[in-house]
Amino acid sequence: MRHQHDVSIAPHFPPLPTGENIADYEGSETWSNKQWAWEFLRRNKEFQLRCEQIDRDDIPRKARNVIARQEFGLLEYKSFLEPFKAHGVKPTRFITADIGKWSRVSKTQQKKLSRTPHIIVRAGDVLVRFNVRAIENSRKAIKAQLRDARTLLEKRSEQWLKRKKIPVGTMTRLKTDRLRTLRLLDLTASNDLLPKGKRLLRSQLFVKIKGADVEKKGIEDVGATEYQESFQQLKEIAERYAYDQYLDLAAS
């Protein structure tokens, strides 16, 4: 079977599928949103090229992590060829779950943590201190603190978006079949590797993705405008998640 990216960066990992065989996506019905986010990022060509460059130039681990965080929103670097999770594979962690935690509740924690821990406050950080002692007076104290913290975080988030000039509400949910969308990216990538004379038309790729849903209608003209437009719409959704909104998916 022909696969994408048959490179020597990480030969012990299987290559990305071509999108032809649905069996290559076994278990996708149980994937978490974080795994879907990783699968879309793996199809990001800019990320693929960056991984190849990082591994080829043997960039040190610390520098790799900085690149992964600043350019792609990953807490730690991992190659696009690595699966979301597998034996011996580091977990995929996004900056959407990047929080610092300090506590002085147990005796062990009190011994390890000084009264004035050294904390670096970066741009975009919000520090919130929770008081667990308050539960001595009311069982509802923690819920009240969480409610206030949420209100504060939402307010600060709006301020950050305004500072970065990002319109509120620009993130949209994926409103299509995720597996078909992912397969479309794989089919397109593997099709682009073929000689020009053997490449399928966009309408033909769309038929492969939709399968019986469109085949039963009969296709007299494989270059039909209807299928080309449908393919383009689905491709735009897929690329939006592969390049821009996978972090929104990871946080949901």
Residue ranges making up the domain that contains 70 = 22-97
Within-domain flag for 197:
yes
**Cα gap 109→207, rounded to integer Å:** 59
In b/e form, how buried is each residue of 38-63, taking b as 16+ CB within 10 angstroms? bbbbbbbeebbebbbebbeeeeeeee
Asked whether residue 131 is assigned to any structural domain, the reply reads: yes
- Do both 159 and 216 map to the same domain? no
**17 within a domain of the structure (yes/no):** no
Cα 38 from chain centroid (whole Å): 4
- Lowest-confidence segment of 7-16, 63-72, 126-135, 239-248 by average pLDDT: 7-16
Confidence at 228, pLDDT banded by 50, 70, 90:
confident
79 and 119, same structural domain?
Answer: no
Whole-model pTM: value is: 0.74
Same domain, residue pair 32 and 90: yes
Residue 71, SS3 per DSSP:
helix
Residue 12 lies in a domain: no
Please, which residues have CB within 8 angstroms of residue 49's CB and are 6 or more apart in sequence?
Answer: none
132 occurs within a structural domain: yes
Q: Give tens-digit pLDDT for 13-44.
A: 888 999 999 999 999 999 999 999 999 999 99
